[in-house]
């Protein structure tokens, strides 16, 4: 009966939450095939879980909801990876050769670093070990690692020493990510130590580029980084609401959207 009984629905929703804990994101299509039910049934399950704040609905599926703790790094890498890759490639095209960059933590900023392979004459300063791993072999990049405490969870380097070293530079660009964007345009994250570094990166750049997929406008996090008014360019898959588009227009932010189809996959 397509999972019509309340007990079957409850078991299915519990399994959906288990899958979300592992992967960070699920799609309606994959869940319907996994449980042998219709997409409409899965959408109803996801909507019910969303109503009790256990997940956040995104285009084509859902992602786990938390306003106080981020997903594990491996889960974040899996979520919307094709979307992040497109964002990274679009952001890299905006960065000219022979320029200097500050790059902060995040799986989307790592995609930007990966897309810089053909650039030349770049100076990159970062507190992200994964960004460094992408760049240190490239002949066109001079890489500087900011020192500090290495966060085991994701290879991020944070702390007062990191902030102090970042403040030694004045870069052409800051390439930053964020965990959430509040309705009023506040950029939010989860770790106050990471936020201190991100603030320094923003302050030490002539031009700030935010790379963030559209799901960031539906998420929440507890620590304030900055505000969209501090951003010069937003590279995203799509501004999905009139409110977010109006906000960017009012603040004079250059917006680059990478999604060209209605069914483009988006998530954190």
The DSSP bridge partners found for residue 61 are: 27, 58
Q: What is the pLDDT along the chain (268 residues), one digit of tens a residue?
A: 455 566 778 889 989 988 886 666 789 999 999 999 999 999 999 988 888 767 778 778 887 765 444 555 555 655 667 889 999 999 999 999 999 999 999 999 999 999 999 999 999 999 999 999 999 999 999 999 999 999 988 899 999 999 999 999 999 999 999 999 999 999 999 999 999 999 999 999 999 999 999 888 878 889 999 999 999 999 999 998 899 999 999 999 999 999 854 333 333 3
8 A C-beta contact, residue 177 and residue 109: yes
Residue 177, sorted as left (phi over 0), alpha (psi -120 to 50) or beta, turns out to be beta
pLDDT at 21: 67
Phi, psi of 121 (to 5 degrees): 70, 30
Domain parsing of the chain, residue ranges = 6-65, 74-257
Q: How many whole angstroms separate alpha carbon 118 and alpha carbon 227?
A: 32
pLDDT at 2: 58
pLDDT at 41: 95
8 A C-beta contact, residue 221 and residue 188: yes
H-state helical runs in the chain: 6-23, 28-35, 39-51, 73-78, 81-93, 107-114, 129-135, 160-166, 192-203, 242-251
pLDDT at 257: 97
What six digits make up the tokens of 243?
A: 């409110």
8 A C-beta contact, residue 20 and residue 26: yes
Which residue do the tokens 């990191």 mark? 162
Fold of domain 74-257: Rossmann fold (3.40.50)
Fold of domain 6-65: Arc Repressor Mutant, subunit A (1.10.10)
pLDDT at 74: 58
pTM: 0.75
Residue 185 CA neighbour count, 13 Å, CB half: 17
pLDDT at 138: 97
Which residue do the tokens 């935010």 mark? 210
- 149-186 burial, b at 16+ Cβ within 10 Å, e below that, comes to eebeebbbbbbeebbebbeebebbbbbbbbbbbbeebb
């Amino acid at each position: 009966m397509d999972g019509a009984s309340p007990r079957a629905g409850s078991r299915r929703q519990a399994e959906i939450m288990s899958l979300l804990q592992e992967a960070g994101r699920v799609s309606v299509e994959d869940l319907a095939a996994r449980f042998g039910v219709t997409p409409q049934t899965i959408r109803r399950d996801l909507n019910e879980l969303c109503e009790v704040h256990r997940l956040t609905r995104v285009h084509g599926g859902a992602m786990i909801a938390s306003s106080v703790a981020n997903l594990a790094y491996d889960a974040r890498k899996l979520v919307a990876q094709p979307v992040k890759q497109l964002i990274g490639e679009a952001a890299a095209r905006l960065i000219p050769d022979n320029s200097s960059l500050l790059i902060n933590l995040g799986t989307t900023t790592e995609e930007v670093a990966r897309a810089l392979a053909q650039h030349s004459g770049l100076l990159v300063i970062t507190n992200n070990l994964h960004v460094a791993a992408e760049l240190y072999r490239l002949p066109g990049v001079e890489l500087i690692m900011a020192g500090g405490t290495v966060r085991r969870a994701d290879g991020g380097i944070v702390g007062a020493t990191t902030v102090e070293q970042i403040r030694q530079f004045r870069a052409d660009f800051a390439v930053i990510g964020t965990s959430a964007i509040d309705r009023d345009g506040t950029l939010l994250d989860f770790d106050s130590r990471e936020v201190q570094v991100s603030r320094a990166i923003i302050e030490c750049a002539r031009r700030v580029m935010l790379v963030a997929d559209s799901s960031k406008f539906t998420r929440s996090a507890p620590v304030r980084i900055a505000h969209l008014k501090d951003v010069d360019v937003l590279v995203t898959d799509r501004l999905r609401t009139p409110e977010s588009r109006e906000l960017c227009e009012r603040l004079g932010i250059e917006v680059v959207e990478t999604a060209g189809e209605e069914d483009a996959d988006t998530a954190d």
